[in-house]
């Protein structure tokens, strides 16, 4: 069972419990609406899946990037993760019924941002030492995990937009931002890097491993952990 479908099934179970005290007509109406919006949830993820495949197929073909291209792709993906985490927080604040679904996805987005810190740290070191080329064989795996979470966050947002149309602008933003990331990925791999002519010391090597430097739970839960992660990433990016 996919994680997306698991989230929806678990949500529907909790939703029935939460609405049990309503009259029968209202409960049936809400269940029908929930079923309709489940399709919006699934369709939103499918719409982004093809773009994620294109990004990953592009990035898997190489591990070397110019420092500028690596920074642009890393920051664009981080920005999308950060913004969608904020949207998940807004859903939790606005509607208790869907709080659990949005909270779970926000936690996953925070984890992805935390993992990305290692890339920012090595990027900063490359800037300080004026190293022009980044060798990051594991970078594409982090991008894939991040975009997978974005697909699920898009599904949650599309589900909300089905119920409250005001959320449709967020869905549109996700699609536009994913196109930007695809463009940056294609640009990054289009640059020819001739390592035979690269000076010694001109390549910054990033270990082929995701940076799991901490557990979110150390900081007492989602809100505090998320604040710490995003604050730390902002500090690292500001150099």
The pLDDT, as a whole number, for residue 116 is 87
Residue-level pLDDT at 78: 92
Q: Length of the chain, please?
A: 239
Angle of the 99-115 helix axis to the 139-163 helix axis, nearest 10: 160
Closest CA to 50 of 187, 175, 156, 190: 175
Q: Please provide residue 129's backbone torsions phi and psi, each rounded to the nearest 5 degrees.
A: -95, 0
- On the CB side of 19, CA atoms within 13 Å amount to 19
pLDDT at position 16 is 39
CA distances from 230 to 158, 182, 218, 234 (A): 24, 23, 15, 6
Of the pLDDT bands very low, low, confident and very high (cuts 50, 70, 90), residue 223 is very low
pLDDT digits (tens, 9 = 90+) for 208-219: 765 444 443 343
- Which contacts of 126-132 are long-range, i.e. CB under 8 A and separated by 24 or more positions? 126/67, 126/204, 127/67, 127/239, 129/204, 131/67, 131/201, 131/202, 131/203, 131/204, 132/66, 132/67, 132/202
What's residue 33's pLDDT? 58
Please give the model's pTM, rounded to 2 decimal places. 0.77
Q: Tell me which DSSP letter residue 199 carries.
A: P
Transcribe 97-145 into DSSP letters: GGHHHHHHHHHHHHHHHHHTHHHHHHHHHHHHTT--EEE-TTHHHHHHH
What is the model's pLDDT at position 150?
A: 92
Does position 82 have pLDDT exceeding 80, yes or no?
A: yes
* CB-neighbour burial class of residue 65 (10 A; exposed 0-12, middle 13-18, buried 19+): buried
* Mean pLDDT calculated for residue range 98-127: 87
Q: Is residue 11 pLDDT above 80, yes or no?
A: no
* pLDDT confidence band for 4 (50 / 70 / 90): low
What pLDDT is attached to residue 15? 40
pLDDT tens string 122-179:
999 999 999 999 999 889 999 999 999 999 999 888 888 888 887 788 888 888 888 8
Q: Mind listing the pLDDT tens digit for each residue in 193-207?
A: 665 455 556 888 887
Q: For position 192, what pLDDT does the model report?
A: 67
Angle value at C-alpha 57, between 172 and 191, nearest 5 degrees: 95
pLDDT, residue 227, reads 55
Q: What is the pLDDT of residue 70?
A: 93
Tell me if 174 sits within 8 A of 153, measured CB to CB: yes
**Location of structure tokens 């390549």:** 203
Q: What is the pLDDT of residue 215?
A: 40
pLDDT in tens, 18-50: 433 444 444 544 555 567 777 788 888 777 888
């Amino acid at each position: 069972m996919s994680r997306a479908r698991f989230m929806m099934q678990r949500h529907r179970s909790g939703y029935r419990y939460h609405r049990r005290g309503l009259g029968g007509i209202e409960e049936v109406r809400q269940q029908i609406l929930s079923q309709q919006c489940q399709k919006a949830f699934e369709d939103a993820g499918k719409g982004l899946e093809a773009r994620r495949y294109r990004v990953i197929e592009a990035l898997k073909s190489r591990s070397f990037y110019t420092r500028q291209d690596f920074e642009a792709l890393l920051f664009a993906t981080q920005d999308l993760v950060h913004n969608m985490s904020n949207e998940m927080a807004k859903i939790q604040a606005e509607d208790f019924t869907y709080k659990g679904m949005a909270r779970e996805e926000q936690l996953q987005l925070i984890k992805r941002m935390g993992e990305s810190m290692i890339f920012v740290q090595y990027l900063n070191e490359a800037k300080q030492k004026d190293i022009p080329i980044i060798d990051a064989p594991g970078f594409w795996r982090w991008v894939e995990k991040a975009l997978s979470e974005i697909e699920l966050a898009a599904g949650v947002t599309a589900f909300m937009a089905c119920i409250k149309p005001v959320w449709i602008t967020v869905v549109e933003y996700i699609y536009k931002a994913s196109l930007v990331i695809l463009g940056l990925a294609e640009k990054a791999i289009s640059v020819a890097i001739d390592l035979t002519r690269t000076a010694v010391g001109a390549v910054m090597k990033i270990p082929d491993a995701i940076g799991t430097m901490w557990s979110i739970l150390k900081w007492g839960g989602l809100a505090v952990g998320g604040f710490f992660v995003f604050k730390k990433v902002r500090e690292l990016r500001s150099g």
